[in-house]
């Protein structure tokens, strides 16, 4: 029940805040912060409850809903969903903190914001594929309005592109879901029942797995369907970029892992090398494009594509270490991606009013605090030891090494991708912060970070470091949740 509270709080917040007159910005943002904190608290309670009683699925609520199509209202959590619930809670709080100054139509902003968050929470909680899909689609429409109303640049174009990509992705996934319903012979959408009793023939798995995987992976930014991500992230207002990069892309990855791999292990084994190739293309391509971007936010946008490549690569390994790496990378990139977008989109932009790298000069002297925050985020993003990125990418690489089906080139390219990540991060940090300009010799300081910004940065850095130093915080809840998937894979591999 506590897990379900996250969804209830989010949707209640959306509807209550939506009806408060837009002028009461103070009331609105306090309520928004309160709601975000409440969802975070609920997710933490789930976390500790799960640690205490280590069973497979907890807090399962199972209500009859639409028997005509075998759909139930069935929710519950395991370690995988809890890690993402916590992530969503963290990003939701910091999103509110980094939108603290927002005054234009604040009530509508938070209405859409919490509708989106509610959808995201719902997906992570659903144990029924129909319900999961309902929440998955609920999360689509608010994104359009957030980007089209509060975004910048080519915002309506980016918003429409993002929505159409998401919708096409979900339509493809829906097709796969209906096939699952009939293919299982069970005539149910119950995820647990399908996992335990669904008997999918091998030809069925070979045909349906790519449909499901691609359908979900479009939202995870899989190449060549990633193009919505950079444009969408860049045009979106900061809080939305944080949510998009931080949690919405994880929806896709979560669907790939939970539904596609979890239910169709034989298909997953067959298609793993292809996914492996696509994943390294994601990593290398994203990193190289990030290297040549002039717009700071585009750099972060493409780095997201690159980092999601690691998630996909981890998924494609289909072994314990690799899947663990993918799950850790989802959490890690959720935190770090959100932090990078927050600093570039809000902290730096509100002071310099530009996102073009060549217009930024002497920032290290003029806003040292901000620069240090970004450098920490950048190091975390590079995967330096001590940060969560290191743990997750190391897992993924070891998993890749252990995957026998992969060509040696996949490993080499993944290594090259890490090198490219180092390069673009360092180059962009240099360009943005350390480059002194002859023509602009001013060293006048910018305003220091506000309390809200400091709090947001601190929260995100705290979690990036905590997971980096003590990954057991997550691995201990992820391990039992990945076990059944690995078991199914082992059975399918024969």
Partner 1 sequence: MNYPQLFLTTLPELIVVLGMFVALGFDYTKYKELDPQTRSNKVAALSTIALMLGLAGVVWQFLQVTDGSKTFSNSFNGQVVLTPLTLWFKGLIFVLALFVVQFAKTDVPNKHVSEYFGLILLSTLGMGFLITAQNLIMLFVSIELISLSLYGLTAFQTDKKFSVEAGIKYFTIGGVSSAFLLFGLSYLFGATNELSFEGITAAITSGAAPQNYVLIASAFLVVGLGFKIAAAPFHLWAPDTYQCGPVPVAAWVASGSKIASFFLLVQLFGPVLETSEQKETLIAGIVLVSVLSMVLGNIGALRQSCVKRLLAYSSIAHAGYILIGLVAANEDGSISVLFYAVIYSLATLGAFATIGIIDSRLGREAQIDDFNGTWKQNPGLSILFMIFILSLAGIPPLSGFFGKFYLFMAAIGSQPEIASWSEGFYWLVAVALLMSAVSLFYYVKVLKAFLVSADTPKLPSIQITKAEGAGLLLLAVLVVYLGIYPTGLVEFIAASLG
Residue 93, sorted as left (phi over 0), alpha (psi -120 to 50) or beta, turns out to be: alpha
Q: How many CB atoms lie within 10 A of CB 296?
A: 26
Q: Is 140 in the site for partner 1 (CB under 8 A)?
A: yes
Q: In this chain, which of 62, 137, 320, 479 binds partner 1, going by CB under 8 A? A: 137
Alpha-carbon dihedral sign for residues 36, 40, 41, 42: positive
**Which one, 227 or 423, has the nearer CB to partner 1?**
227
Site string for partner 1, 86-125 (x = CB under 8 A): ----------------------x-----------------
Residue closer to partner 1 by CB (options 74, 361) is: 74
Read out DSSP for 407-436? -HHHHHHHHHHHHHHHHHHHHHHIIIII--
61 touching partner 1, by CB under 8 A: no
DSSP run (H or E) holding 321? helix 320-342
Among the listed residues 14, 16, 23, the one whose alpha carbon sits nearest the alpha carbon of residue 106: 23
In whole angstroms, what separates CA 34 from the centre of its chain? Answer: 22
DSSP codes joined into one string, 260-280: IIHH-HHHHHHHHHHHHHHHH
Judged by CB, which is closer to partner 1: 173, or 391?
Answer: 173
Which residue, 132 or 315, has its beta carbon nearer to partner 1? Answer: 132
> Contact at 8 Å (CB) between 107 and 28?
yes
Rank residues 98 and 165 by Cβ distance to partner 1 and give the closer one: 165
Q: Is position 68 an interface residue for partner 1 (rule: CB under 8 A)?
A: yes
Least distance from partner 1 to the Cβ atom of residue 193, Å: 17
**Tokens describing residue 313:** 């690569």
- For residue 45, state whether it binds partner 1 (rule: CB under 8 A): no
Least spacing, CB of residue 119 vs partner 1, in Å: 9
Binding mask 168-197 toward partner 1 (x if CB under 8 A, else -) reads x--xx-xx--xx-xxx--------------
Give yes or no for residue 149 binding partner 1 (CB under 8 A): yes
Q: Among 8, 41, 44, 141, which residue interacts with partner 1 (rule: CB under 8 A)?
A: 141
Q: Which of 467, 301, 473 is nearest to 380 (CA)?
A: 467
Q: Which residues bind partner 1 (CB under 8 A)?
A: 64-69, 108, 130, 133-134, 137-138, 140-141, 144-145, 148-149, 156, 160, 163-164, 167-168, 171-172, 174-175, 178-179, 181-183
């Amino acid at each position: 029940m506590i897990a379900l509270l996250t969804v209830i709080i989010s949707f209640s917040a959306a509807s209550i805040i939506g009806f408060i007159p837009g002028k009461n910005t103070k009331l609105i943002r306090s309520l928004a912060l309160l709601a975000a904190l409440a969802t975070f608290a609920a997710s933490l309670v789930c976390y500790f409850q799960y640690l205490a009683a280590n069973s497979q699925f907890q807090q399962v609520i199972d209500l009859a809903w639409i028997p005509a199509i075998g759909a139930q209202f069935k929710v519950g959590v395991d370690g995988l969903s809890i890690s993402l619930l916590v992530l969503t809670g963290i990003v939701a709080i910091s999103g509110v903190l980094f939108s603290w100054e927002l005054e234009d139509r604040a009530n509508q902003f938070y209405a859409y914001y919490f509708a989106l968050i509610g959808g995201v929470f719902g997906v992570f909680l659903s144990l029924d594929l129909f319900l999961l899909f309902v929440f998955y689609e609920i999360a689509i429409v608010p994104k359009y309005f957030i980007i089209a109303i509060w975004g910048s640049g080519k915002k309506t174009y980016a918003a429409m592109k993002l929505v159409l990509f998401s919708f096409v992705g979900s339509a493809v996934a829906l097709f796969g879901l209906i096939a699952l319903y009939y293919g299982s012979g069970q005539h149910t959408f119950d995820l647990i029942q399908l996992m335990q009793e669904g008997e999918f023939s091998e030809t069925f798995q070979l045909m349906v797995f790519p449909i499901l995987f691609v359908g979900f992976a479009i939202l995870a930014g899989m190449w060549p369907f990633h193009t919505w991500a950079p444009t969408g992230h860049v045009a979106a207002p900061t809080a939305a970029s944080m949510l998009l990069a931080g949690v919405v892309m994880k929806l896709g990855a979560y669907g790939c892992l939970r539904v596609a791999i979890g239910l169709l292990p034989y298909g997953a084994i067959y298609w793993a090398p292809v996914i492996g190739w696509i994943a390294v293309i994601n990593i290398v391509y994203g990193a190289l494009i990030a290297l040549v971007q002039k717009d700071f936010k585009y750099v972060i946008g493409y780095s997201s594509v690159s980092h999601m490549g690691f998630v996909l690569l981890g998924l494609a390994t289909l072994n314990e270490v690799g899947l663990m790496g993918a799950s850790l990378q989802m959490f890690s990139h959720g935190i770090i991606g959100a932090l990078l977008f927050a600093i570039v989109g809000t902290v730096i932009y509100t002071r310099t009013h530009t996102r073009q790298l060549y217009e930024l000069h002497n920032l290290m002297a003029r806003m040292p605090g901000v620069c240090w925050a970004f450098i920490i985020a950048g190091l975390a993003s590079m995967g330096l030891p001590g940060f969560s990125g290191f743990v997750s990418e190391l897992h993924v690489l070891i998993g890749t090494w252990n995957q026998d089906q992969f060509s040696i080139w996949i490993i080499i390219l993944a290594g090259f991708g890490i090198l490219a990540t180092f390069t673009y991060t360092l180059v962009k940090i240099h360009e943005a912060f350390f480059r002194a300009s002859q023509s602009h010799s001013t060293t006048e300081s910018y305003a220091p970070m506000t309390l809200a910004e400091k709090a947001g940065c601190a929260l995100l850095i705290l979690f990036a470091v905590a997971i980096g130093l003590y990954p057991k915080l997550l691995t201990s809840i992820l391990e039992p949740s990945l076990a059944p998937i690995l078991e199914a894979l082992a059975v399918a591999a024969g």
